[in-house]
């Protein structure tokens, strides 16, 4: 197991990076969408798992915005 703390994020750190509420991150973990590990009472997300979670969002189609008339 990789024990370098630089390779792990807290729920709060992930929430800050993704600009969502920490409860949203906890929900993704509960739903199995985002892998996390529990160490006693601490929840940690591996950097690699966060990158896997974010990959579809990075590669997905761009959202086209409607142009407004001047």
Q: Are 55 and 34 in contact (CB under 8 A)?
A: no
Distance CA 44, CA 38 (A): 6
C-beta atoms surrounding 7 within 10 Å: 13
Third-level CATH fold of 5-56: Arc Repressor Mutant, subunit A (1.10.10)
Report the DSSP pairing between strands 42-46 and 8-10. Answer: antiparallel
Average pLDDT of the chain is 87
Strand stretches in 1-70, DSSP E: 8-10, 37-39, 42-46
Whether residue 70 is predicted with pLDDT greater than 80 in this model: the reply is: no
Ranges of each domain in the chain: 5-56
What is the structure's pLDDT at 61? 64
Residues 31-64: pLDDT tens digits? 999 999 998 999 999 999 999 999 887 776 666 6
What SS3 state is found at 7? helix
- pTM of the entire structure? 0.75
């Amino acid at each position: 197991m990789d024990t370098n703390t630089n390779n792990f994020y807290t729920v709060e750190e992930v929430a800050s990076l993704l600009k969502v509420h920490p409860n949203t991150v906890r929900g993704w973990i509960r739903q199995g969408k985002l892998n996390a590990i529990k160490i006693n009472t601490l929840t940690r997300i591996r950097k690699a798992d966060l990158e896997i979670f974010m990959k579809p969002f990075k590669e997905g189609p761009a959202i086209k915005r409607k142009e407004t008339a001047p």
